[in-house]
Amino acid sequence: MATANSVSSSYLSVATEATERPAAGSMGWRSGENTPTLQAVLKDLSPLPQYTVFLGICEDGLPLLMNLANPSAGSILVMGDQAFANKSLVRSLLASMIALIPPDQAQITLVSPGLAGCEVITRDESGFPTLGSRPEEVSDLIWKYTALTEERLYGHRHGPVKVLVIDGLESLILHLDQAGLEHLDWLVLHGPRCGVWVVASQDLERVKFFDDHLVHAFGTRLLGPIGSPQLATYLSGTQPEVLASLIPGVQFCVVMEEEVVKFWLPRLDGSQADDPLIRALAPSS
């Protein structure tokens, strides 16, 4: 049974033991065939430590994990040239979170910015999602999470993990004034150590300007295919051909202690894909 003992870092773990599972390349993952479902993978890995989130399967077949009880990873930024590829990883991460962590222990809010405003879906401690379109309240939402982080940071108040998922960081910032941007930057930087996580995706093809300070506030970058050699090198610190060779929508990489770790996404089965939070991130949405 796989364990979550880290061999690469203190916050993103590659399990030290594999289940009876061949390397990812020999399973047809490279061609997108015979890809296991998330449900099957999690069944093989069970039991996992509390607050564990499954990210994907590494090239050698071992699982890539993170734990929301350990703030060392920092906030998570998913970046790549194509929005549909970024959505695939965020959908998989959310599905893993929903499958592994009870709703009374991790509450999720998804923000999907658009031209008319921001659609907001929240899954509270009951596990039932609520949907609303609240374009005028985006800054208030960021402030709400910032205030909660301050309460926990200075007042030692405890509570369930909160996860703010931003589907399109480049679009969200267009809805924020300067104060909202400052609150978001502070939240991204300090939230995880208070159990308040930001998971955001950024479609590099749609970025009008690159906010270096905000990007570097994210502790972990999960990178998909990036065609620009200069941008790929800047974001990963590695050879640009590594990111250019990734398969869109199914393969990503993360830099762990100066080592590039490639990983593959599992498939989502019907029940997982039909969850309102996951459905809201469908490529056609």
pLDDT above 80 for 82 = yes
Cα–Cα distance measured from residue 227 to residue 250, given in angstroms and rounded to the nearest whole number: 16
Cα–Cα distance measured from residue 123 to residue 278, given in angstroms and rounded to the nearest whole number: 12
Q: What is the pTM of this model?
A: 0.86
Q: Name the phi and psi angles at 118, rounded to 5.
A: -125, 125
Q: What percent of the chain has pLDDT above 90?
A: 41
What value does the mean pLDDT of the chain take?
Answer: 81
Distant-in-sequence contacts of 149-155, Cβ < 8 A, 24+ apart: 149/186, 149/187, 149/190, 149/191, 149/194, 149/196, 152/194, 152/195, 152/196, 153/190, 153/193, 153/194
Domain boundaries, the chain: 12-279
Q: Which fold has domain 12-279?
A: Rossmann fold (3.40.50)
- The predicted model gives 176-202 an average pLDDT of 94
pLDDT above 80 for 131 = no
- The predicted model gives 260-282 an average pLDDT of 83
pLDDT above 70 for 179 = yes
